[in-house]
Chains A and B, each alone.
Chain A
Amino acid sequence: MTPTVVLPVIIGGLYAAGVYLLLDRSLTRVLLGFLLLGNATNLLVLSSGGPAGGPPIIGVTEPGEMSDPLTQALVLTAIVITFGIAAFLLAMIYRSWRLVRQEVVGVDEEDRRVARREGIHADELDPDDLAPEDRSAAHADSLHSSSLEGDRAAEHALAERYAGIPSDDVDLPPTRGAAR
Chain B
Amino acid sequence: MLVLLLLHLLAGVLAPVLVRWWGRQAFLALALVPAAGFAWTMAQLDAVVGGDEVREAVPWVPALDLAVTLRLDSLALLFAALVTGVGALVLVYCARYFEPDEEGVGRFAGNLTAFAGSMLGLVLADDLLLLYVFWELTTVFSFLLIGGSGARVAARRAASQALVLTTAGGLAMLVGLIMIAEASGSYLLSEVVADPGSGPLLTAGTVLVLAGAVTKSALVPFHFWLPAAMEAPTPVSAYLHAAAMVKAGIYLVARLAPGFADVPGWRPIVLGLGVATMLVGGYRALRQNDLKLLLAFGTVSQLGFLMTLVGAGSRELAAAGLVMTLAHALFKSTLFLGVGVIDHATGTRDLRELSGLGRRLPALAGAAGLAAASMAGLPPLLGFVGKEAAFTALWDGGLPDRTAAVVVLAGLVLGSVLTVAYTLRFVWGAFARKPASPPTAPAELAHPPTALFLAAPVVLTLTGLVLGPASPLLEPLVAGYADTLPLLAPEVVPLALWHGWQPALALSLLTLLGGAAIFAARRPVHRLQRRWAVGASADEGYWNTLQAVDRLAVLVTGTTQRGSLPAYLGTILVVVLALPGSVLVFRAPWPGEWRAWDTPVQALVGAVVLIAAALALRIHQRLSAVLVVGVTGYGLAVLFALQGAPDLALTQFLVETLTLVVFVLVLRKLPKDITERHRPRERAVRGVIAVAVGLLMAGVGAVALAARTATPVSVAYPEQAYEFGGGKNVVNVTLVDIRAWDTLGEISLLVVAATGIASLVFLRRRTGVIARLAQEQRAVRAERWSRRAPRRRWLAGSVALAPERRSVVLEVLTRILFHSIIVFSLFLLFSGHNQPGGGFAGGLVAGLALVLRYLAGGRYELGEAAPVDPGLLLGAGLLVAGTTGVGGLILGAEVLQSAIFDFTLPVLGDIHLVTSLFFDMGVYLIVVGLVLDVLRSLGAELDRQEDEHDAIDLAPGEVVLR
Contact = CB atoms under 8 A, between A and B. Distances in A.
Given A25-B677, A111-B562, A90 B610 contact: no
B750 A80 contact: yes
A105 B691 contact: no
A107 B712 CA distance: 47
A97 B669 contact: yes
B648 A178 contact: no
Contacts of A79: 648, 651-652, 655
Nearest to B544: A126
Interface centre among B153, B569, B937 (most CB of A within 10 A): B153
Contacts of B284: 140, 169
A76 B648 contact: yes
Contact of B836 (A57, A74, A98): A57
Given A66-B718, A177-B346, A87 B934 contact: yes
Interface in A32-89: 32, 35-36, 39-40, 42-44, 46-59, 61, 63, 66-77, 79-88
B746 A109 contact: no
Contacts of A26: 674-675, 677
A143 B352 CA distance: 18
Given A11-B697, A28-B622, A46-B640, A6 B603 contact: yes
Interface stretch (B15-23, B184-192, B285-293, B771-779): B285-293
B698 A9 contact: yes
B3 interface: no
B563 interface: yes
Given A4-B596, A77-B742, A177-B344, A46 B645 contact: yes
Contact of A76 (B526, B670, B840): B840
B693 A19 contact: yes
A148 B356 CA distance: 33
B658 A32 contact: no
B938 A15 contact: no
Interface stretch (B323-331, B372-380, B464-472, B531-539): B531-539
Interface in B921-962: 927, 930, 934, 937-938, 942, 952, 960, 962
Nearest to B735: A73
A52 B669 contact: no
B561 A111 contact: yes
Given A12-B694, A28-B625, A138-B227, A52 B644 contact: yes
Interface string B719-751: 101100000111100110011001100100110
A53 B662 contact: no
A136 interface: yes
B875 interface: no
Given A2-B594, A63-B719, A107-B564, A56 B626 contact: no
Given A47-B701, A69-B734, A136 B158 contact: yes
Contact of B734 (A73, A136, A171, A178): A73
Given A80-B750, A87-B757, A158-B352, A17 B613 contact: yes
A146 interface: no
Contact of B750 (A67, A81, A117, A137): A81
A97 B670 contact: yes
B877 to A, nearest CB: 13
A115 B289 contact: no
Interface string B484-509: 00000000000000000000000000
Interface stretch (B76-84, B405-413, B549-557, B903-911): B549-557
A91 B756 contact: yes
B670 A1 contact: no
Contacts of B614: 13, 17
A20 B663 CA distance: 20
B705 A50 contact: yes
B750 A84 contact: yes
B706 A1 contact: yes
Nearest to B699: A8
A176 B594 CA distance: 84
Interface in A126-146: 126-127, 130, 133-141, 143-144
Contacts of B693: 15-16, 19
Interface string A149-171: 00000000010011111111101
A134 to B, nearest CB: 4
Contacts of A17: 613-614, 616-617, 690, 694
Interface in B823-870: 834-836, 840, 844
Given A58-B730, A136-B157, A174-B348, A1 B563 contact: no
A110 to B, nearest CB: 8
B765 interface: no
B750 A15 contact: no
B540 interface: yes
B88 interface: no
Contacts of B558: 114-117
Interface in B122-180: 152-154, 157-158, 161
Contacts of B643: 46-47, 52-53, 67
Contacts of B622: 28
Nearest to B626: A32
B231 A98 contact: no
Nearest to A119: B554
Interface in B596-642: 596-599, 602-603, 606, 609-610, 613-614, 616-617, 622, 625-626, 629, 632-633, 636, 639-640, 642
B588 interface: no
Contact of A81 (B570, B595, B746, B960): B746
A53 B644 contact: yes
B523 A164 contact: yes
Listed residue (B561, B708, B714, B942) with the most chain A CB atoms within 10 angstroms of its CB? B714
Contacts of A173: 152, 154
Interface in B675-717: 675, 677-678, 686-687, 689-691, 693-702, 704-706, 708, 712-714, 717
B808 interface: no
A87 B938 contact: yes
Contact of A32 (B523, B598, B616, B721): B616
29 contacts: A3-B591, A6-B598, A7-B602, A7-B639, A17-B613, A18-B613, A21-B617, A25-B678, A28-B625, A36-B613, A43-B639, A46-B640, A48-B704, A57-B835, A58-B718, A69-B730, A76-B651, A77-B746, A103-B670, A114-B558, A114-B561, A115-B563, A165-B351, A167-B352, A169-B293, A171-B293, A172-B230, A175-B347, A176-B347
